A = this chain, B = another copy of it.
């Protein structure tokens, strides 16, 4: 994987506004933690990430400027694959990644014209330049919520085809509203009720960490 695509992974883990740790990057890139350590130190020397040993990586202005067009192209390609070519949602991330070795400004421009300047990719993530990139706090993750009568609306997913394969099997979609019925102390898995189909599901922590939500106040409380 080239440096720019590695920066894209950092971006996808929130590296534009927070430190990203090496283990998460290693999982995302599917390489060893040693490789990640080498890489982040290398990118730091190039001034593309701010990096302090043992404390993770965050994109610099320079790194962000370099990677934004690539993220944009990647998400436009996802939108194209999903909307025009009918590729299943669970496949679009990986396929867009192999198509996305480097950014091409003309291609980005024409994709935008063709797709009519979409604001979000099929996973719910914003397409940069078309839309400003929001800063999410870690409290927006489903994994950080607690039991309540409120519901949590799914506003996006971490870009990961594996996650999508699992979610499509258990019928959880972008926009669904979930209520947390129980949290298992032992492994932090959650029992959630999906308001759309009234199904109860157990979601392990590795899944809840990849779902970003916004709180919807319960009707009882808002009245």
A residues lining the B interface (CB < 8 Å): 81, 84-87, 91, 95, 98-99, 101-102, 104, 106-107, 110-111, 113-114
Contacts and interface: CB of A to CB of B under 8 A. Distances in A.
Question: What is the interface of chain A mostly: helix, strand, loop, or mixed?
Answer: helix
A168 B87 CA distance: 36
22 contacts: A81-B107, A84-B114, A85-B107, A85-B110, A85-B111, A85-B113, A85-B114, A86-B110, A86-B113, A87-B106, A87-B107, A87-B110, A91-B106, A95-B104, A95-B106, A95-B107, A98-B101, A98-B102, A98-B104, A99-B99, A99-B101, A101-B101
A106 to B, nearest CB: 7
A104 B102 CA distance: 18
Among A81, A102, A110: residue with most chain B CB under 10 A: A110
A103 to B, nearest CB: 10
